[in-house]
Amino acid sequence: MAKLSVNVDHVATLRQARHTPFPDPVEAAWMAEEAGASGITVHLRMDRRHIQDADVERLRESVRGKLNLEMSISAEMLKAAVRLRPHQVTLVPERPEEVTTEGGLNLIFYGRRIAEVAEQLAAAGIAVSLFIDPDPRQLQALSSLPGGGARWIEGFEINTDAFTRATDPAQVKDELAKIQEVAGIGKDKGLKVYAGHGLRTSNVGPVAAIPNIEELNIGHAIVARSVMVGIEGAVKEMLAAMNGG
């Protein structure tokens, strides 16, 4: 079964709404791991709307599994990642106006910059992953990154947003097939394959059942559900839904 990395960004969102010390995303991360999560994901945004640098520092010291830091390819974020040293960085596109990440990285247009950032992260001992749409052309672009940049990339996360938004059964089937295809190509290339975005207990099963996907990154659905049942209960419900797939 695919592992579960819990994104605790929106625990910090609630904290920042009142600028109080609580709820603490580090405590939430500890509870998530106690409930069965294999790792923790956070997105350090340019505007610091939720997770703060100090949160990442504390998480790096306390997370028992893998700490995955999502960030843009900006110079500021690269500097922060090298200083904070998470286990893994997942490079994602970022716009100041967006509510959440709106799509995958365009490796075709931004390949040179992505390769430069990946090389510097790898030199700092940080594993590098890329958030991409389920499009074989993006994997081809990954293999052809300038300067042999592909050698710095350990894996990629498939953007499952289109799958989670699909309502027509034929469209759901088509979007799932795209994820399966890209996961298979990635595995054949020797890359670690992850997936996430918009997944919840009602739709996670088919994605979790794809053999080549080794980890799912899920945040909003778990944090939202935790308001009702607590973080440990929400994580256990998600793991059960993944296992049911």
Residues with active-site annotation: 43, 70, 197
65 SS3 class: coil
Measured CA to CA, the distance from residue 91 to residue 156 in angstroms comes to 9
Tokens of 183: 């996961």
At residue 190's C-alpha, the angle toward residues 205 and 88, to 5°, is: 70
For 14, phi then psi, to 5°, come to -65, -40
> Residues 134-153, buried b or exposed e (16+ Cβ, 10 A)?
bbeebbebbeebeeebbebb
State residue 201 phi and psi, 5-degree precision.
-60, -30
Residue 223: what are its φ and ψ, rounded to 5°? -65, -40
- The H-or-E segment that residue 234 falls in is helix 220-244
CA-CA distance, 11 to 137, in Å (whole number)? Answer: 35
